[in-house]
Amino acid sequence: MSRIEIKQGSALFLDRDGVLNSRIVDGYVTKPADFVLLPGVLEALALLGQRFERIFVVTNQQGIGKGLMSEDDLKAIHDGFVRQVAAAGGHIDRIYHCPKLKSEHSFMRKPSVGMAVRARHDFPDIKLSESVMVGDMASDMLFGRRAGMTTVLVGSEAAEARRVPHLVDYAYPSLLDFAQSL
Ligand SMILES: [Mg+2]
């Protein structure tokens, strides 16, 4: 397996739950105390921050659409996370989230590519075709593929995505393993 080439305009897109923090199965992270980073994530982001000029998080958060948390609740979680990453030497340039319910079939909700289109609009210097999407689910891989990115599957709960090997370019046990491979 050849290494991923990082070129001018290569941005890194990261799924959140199951990549950065522990996924709550059949539940939602609704407050900072529920947001538990996975082992090695801060170290990984410090390494990745040296390689990628732009790093984005793209996350479906239909807990907002369900009324389980507010936009402000989510902002509190994300502000704390961004500060932690910066203190550890990394950078998160923007966090995009989709609050819509799955049943609304929003263009902004993965696996639709709305959040990638938004990032490209906000940061015209990035090239999606040179960018990388890291996620733990098939929907993340499909999002990355549809946006023309290289896809990276991480995590041990990736059985769903293993059913769609044609969408997965690279696979690693964790974000840190991916970061150390570059
Ligand atoms: Mg996930």
CA of 7 to the centre of ligand 1 (A): 26
Contact in structure between 76 and 114 (CB atoms under 8 Å): no
| 125 alpha carbon, distance to own chain's centre | 19
Query: Hey, what domains does the chain have and what are their CATH numbers?
Result: 11-181 (3.40.50.1000)
pTM of the model: 0.96
CA of 87 to the centre of ligand 1 (A): 24
Which residues have beta carbons under 5 A from ligand 1 (an ion)?
Answer: 15, 17-18, 136
61: alpha, beta or left? (left if phi > 0; alpha if psi -120 to 50): beta
**pLDDT tens per residue, the chain (182 residues)?**
568 899 999 999 999 999 999 998 888 999 999 999 999 999 999 999 999 999 999 999 999 999 999 999 999 999 999 999 999 999 999 999 999 999 999 999 999 999 999 999 999 999 999 999 999 999 999 999 999 999 999 986 667 666 888 999 999 999 999 999 99
CA of 19 to the centre of ligand 1 (A): 6
Residues belonging to the active site: 15, 17
Contact in structure between 36 and 23 (CB atoms under 8 Å): no
